[in-house]
């Protein structure tokens, strides 16, 4: 369709006849994501608040559909790349956020750590170097004041504010550690996401939410005992990228519900359903 035809179509969104409006909305939706830039320009050029709201809703519908398609493709992919999965979550709130921008920002953090890192150090000392740069120099830390903010689950916001929840901080730390070729992985502890340093001769745990505190398997066992839970292998061993993305989505659902944004919570639940198994249906 030409621009003039599209303009005429968009103008009909303001028609008094609901039947016509519904037909126009369905027609615009059928044009797919390619029409989003045009809709954004139309939104900027109109001074009609009612028409702007309808355009906003259509843009969101198209962007949300694209996100679900991308999440399905990610789920079906062989590698299920963690960074791509977390980028997709961020695009729910920030659809223009680019994966390459996320990679560049993370690589800057990696370079800061790499400058002070020494691969010949003992594993404990290696982690202490990472901790020093990550927490003291770069000022990353726990967002305890606004723990339930949705931004804590969105990596672009965490990178901007340097504040996050346990899993988002762990993901950034994990990216840096693995790029340094350290055997560091995520661990799905109940109520707290942590990391483990694990190779043939060493295994210990890292609480990134508590400034990289190093702790032992016995500490994990005591923690599980305090929660009155039956120990499971998953509480001690590395988890898959899929599990990390699922948990991040569940956190985002909870955050939106806590903030009273229930419509957004329901939409994120739909995204979670795309990659969920039966155990993930509850938040």
Q: How far apart are CA 180 and CA 192, in angstroms?
A: 24
How, if at all, do strands 184-189 and 213-215 pair?
unpaired
Q: What is the C-alpha to C-alpha distance for residues 114 and 109, in angstroms, rounded to an integer? A: 9
Low-confidence residues of the chain, pLDDT below 50?
A: 279-283
Q: Which of 76, 109, 125 is the last residue of a domain?
A: 76
**pLDDT value at position 281?**
39
Q: Are residues 115 and 167 in the same domain?
A: yes
DSSP state of 200: S
The pLDDT of residue 6 is 80
User: 121 and 185 in one domain?
Assistant: yes
Q: List the end-to-end C-alpha distance of the chain, in Å, as a whole number.
A: 43
Q: Can you give the pLDDT at residue 104?
A: 98
- Does residue 234 share a domain with residue 135? yes
- The answer on 246 and 210 residing in a single domain is yes
pLDDT of residue 283: 34
Pair 118, 249 in one domain: yes
Tally of domains in the chain: 2
3-state secondary structure of 59: helix
CA–CA dist 6, 10 (Å, integer): 6
Same domain, yes or no: 123 and 55: no
Q: What is the pLDDT of residue 261?
A: 97
The residue from 76, 95, 124 where one domain ends is 76
Q: What is the CA radius of gyration of the chain?
A: 22
Instruction: Verify that 106 and 217 share a domain, yes or no.
Output: yes
In contact, 107 and 175? CB cutoff 8 Å:
no
In SS3 terms, 17-54 reads as CHHHHHHHHHHHHHCCHHHHHHHHHHHHHCCCHHHHHH
Note whether 126 and 162 are same-domain residues. Answer: yes
Alpha-carbon dihedral sign for residues 249, 254, 257, 259: negative
- pTM to 2 decimals? 0.89
Segment holding 111, helix H or strand E: helix 99-114
46 & 175 share domain: no
Parent domain of 66: 3-76
Specify whether 101 is located in the same domain as 154. yes
- Separation between Cα atoms, residue 174 and residue 182, nearest integer Å: 9
What span, in angstroms and rounded, lies between the C-alpha atoms of 174 and 156?
Answer: 16
- Same domain? For 89 and 71 the reply is no
């Amino acid at each position: 369709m030409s621009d003039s035809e599209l303009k005429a179509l968009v103008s009909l969104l303001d028609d008094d006849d609901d039947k016509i409006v519904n037909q126009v909305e369905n027609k615009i939706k059928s044009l797919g994501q390619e029409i989003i830039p045009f809709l954004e320009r139309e939104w900027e050029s109109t001074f009609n608040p009612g028409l702007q709201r309808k355009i906003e809703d259509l843009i969101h519908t198209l962007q949300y559909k694209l996100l679900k398609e991308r999440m399905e493709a990610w789920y079906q992919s062989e590698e299920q790349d963690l960074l791509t999965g977390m980028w997709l979550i961020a695009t729910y709130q920030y659809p223009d956020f680019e994966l390459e921008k996320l990679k560049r920002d993370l690589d800057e953090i990696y370079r800061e750590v790499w400058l002070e890192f020494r691969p010949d150090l003992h594993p404990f000392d290696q982690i202490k170097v990472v901790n020093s740069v990550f927490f003291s120099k770069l000022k990353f830390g726990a967002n305890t004041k606004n723990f339930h903010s949705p931004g804590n689950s969105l990596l672009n916001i965490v990178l901007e504010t340097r504040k996050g929840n346990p899993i988002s901080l762990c993901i950034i730390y994990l990216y840096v550690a693995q790029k340094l070729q350290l055997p560091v992985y995520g661990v799905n502890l109940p109520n707290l996401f942590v990391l483990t340093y694990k190779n043939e001769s060493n295994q210990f745990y890292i609480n990134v939410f508590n400034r990289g505190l190093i702790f032992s398997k016995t500490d994990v066992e005591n923690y599980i005992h305090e929660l009155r839970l039956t120990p499971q292998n998953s509480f001690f061993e590395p988890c898959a990228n899929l599990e990390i993305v699922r948990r991040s989505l569940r956190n985002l659902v909870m955050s939106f519900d806590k903030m009273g944004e229930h419509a957004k919570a329901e939409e994120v639940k739909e995204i979670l359903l795309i990659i969920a198994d039966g155990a993930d249906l509850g938040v």
